[in-house]
Structure 1
Amino acid sequence: MSGWYDPGRMGMSYRGQMPGDLARRYLLAMEWARRLGRRGVADAAVAVIVALIVRYTIVDPPGPSSWWPAWSAWPVAAVISFPVAVRRRWPRAMLALACAAGVLATVAGAVAAGAIWVSFVPTVLVLYLVASTTSAGWSAAGLAACAFGAVAAVLVFYERVFPGLAPAATPSEIPPAWPLEIGVIGVLLVAGWAMGTVVRWKRDTTARLVRHLAEAAVADERRRIARELHDVIGHSMSLIAVKATVANHVADARPQEVRAALAVIEQTSRSTLTEIHRVLDLLRSDGDPQQAQLSVPGMADLPELAAHARSAGVEVDLTVRGEAALPPAVAVSVYRIVQQALTNVITHAAPTRCSVTVDIDGREAVIEVVDDGSRHGRPPRAGHGGHGLLGMRERVKMYGGTFSAGRRPEGGFRVSARLPYDQSGTKA
């Protein structure tokens, strides 16, 4: 019994545990499925269902008065339904083919009276796709052309074809169904076009919204980078400019002060480079929030900030009240606000005296920076900060706080900010 089974003689081979013919068919089917995709397979299934409906609903069965042979029912149903299967590959061409197939089947008398509208169901399905994927002008033109063709086909059918299919019927016995047929076809076409148009409108609206959100995110990121760079570089450059001016004025009379000023400039330049690297690390650490938090300054760096201001000729009294730990994001904002306020003092009022007070109570951080004005009687510059004040105001606004800045009646300038927060670092 073992000799009767010969895979080679029977035209079979093995690919794993699968016969060769089955393997090739399986791989071919998988390749077609991959090319068509899920939507293509779904469209093919819908086309088969529509073909069955057309075959058993509207194709007129052959009779003594019909010139259609019995076997023609299936080809007619297949031709009418075929555009649905490949509508995604050639939407406009398949719309024309579907409409033409429905019109020709109706005019040729291959459909049953009272059910002509079913032959235009494939046209409706393809029109929906055209309306959802092409411009409104193209889809509207397709709707108008299909409606005109359907109306003409129905009128020709009831005027010329139907009496020939029912020669024994008198005019009074011919059902006046053409207005109903035209109405149903019109409603279906308009409904398919309208649904496709709504889908396209929603998709376009969503795309515009996503694009707008992306542009807004890019703009916010640019502002964040600009704010960080302004805070980092502005403070250091102001200190360097002050010390360079001092060194230039006393270069001949007091050389020791020149060396001290150059030492401050060197130290400030190095710290500025370190701070810039911190900002770059912050911008690069999108996937590691902990790294971003550790790479930026906070409350512990306020004394160093005050020391830099003192080296520029500003007598800084720093007071921090409250032992509650600030969330990292709030601590960075407090540091940047104090930094910018001291930068403005160095730029516009030094040498002078300045008090920095930070109150923390676990619910909000209150910052106040007050200077006494220039001791040399130098008039304050207009704006006293410009972009710096705007940056501080934006930081406070992120937490829903309040910000005020202005000259004091007794002289000098005052900056006040209140940042409410919860322990997550968001605004309260």
Structure 2
Amino acid sequence: MDDPDVRPLFPRPLRPRELVALDALAGLGYAFVLVLNSPDAHHPAGWAAIAAMTLPLAVRRRWPLPVFCVVSAASVAAVALGVVREPLAAAAYALYPVALTTRRRRWEPTAAIGALTAGALLLAAFGGVTAVAEVRRIMETVVLGSLALGGAWTIGRAVRERRAYAARQAEQAAERAVTEERLRIAREMHDVVSHTLSLIGVKAGVAAHVADRRPEEALEALRVIETTSRQALTEMRHMLGVLREAPGAAPDALSPAPGLAALPDLAERAAAAGVRVDLDVRVTGGLPEALELAVHRIVQEAVTNVVRHAAPAACRVSVHDEGGQLRIEVTDDGPGRRTLPAGAPGHGLIGMRERVRAYGGVFTAGPLPGGGFRVLARLPLKGEGT
């Protein structure tokens, strides 16, 4: 879990173009150091080797494996030409995104690579090589190169596993929240059916009893019946859209329905999975509890989709009331695709669309032209569900 007292290096997650610029700057800086420190770099072959080692680093996040292959080949050539003294530093920098993005295979010896890297570190620190200068230089190149590559691979795999674990934790939390919501709706439906219909039955009996003698009282009872039945119908229509069976849970453990006040907690959970959420909530006046619950669930599902399909990414959530409508917009700067793994149900967007439709609203979702994904919902603030 992230420490809330530790401030990140950057105030917000970097966009793809900014990451490319950062990698390009690192590559150019490394090239500058090589040119200054290598007397053999000032000839065409040296310039070509240094360029092939450093310039492709700018797109290492876009094409990890091809960039690593090019940089590795150029690094070996540069070492053979005597252009560089420090071994495979650029190749290790290019290997990290390969380890971070490539799916792990069963036969992959990541633990063995980490152990060998630790052994190379100990050998580099304490193991002196008594040999001629040329042999010693070759052995140092092999040992330090193995250390750099093994360290980059091990760290990349460790970060990948951590992100995958955080994503699984977020999905499990979302599933638990859905189960709790279904049970809460079942309890609310019981209250609506029993209490509301009891009130309607009592008022109907009163109206029938006093209709001839006190018509004013009968008319008032009919007004109460009308108002109560409309409210009950609205609540029932909202709840029936999301009610499902959820056996085996304890109703007494249910908490109050989350609303706008719970959105910061949702953002904190998303940050643990690599998605930093920027909240912008501007709602004047209070909202009905059922509508606040709908807003919370829409934002929760949209942010969960960002965690599943785009993490690490930056996400912006805005909830504004404007022109008699409540506007909910969730955008991210991820790849813009929502590719589901094999066997996944993919009901997130469908569930959000159905929830918005239950309130008579409008729902749209899709990739943005410049990259990223957007979920947009507009819910009427008056007459919802009628």
What TM-score, normalized by structure 1, do the two folds share? 0.40
The structure number with the bigger radius of gyration is 1
Ranked by relative contact order (alpha carbons within 8 Å, sequence separation 6 or more), the top structure is 2
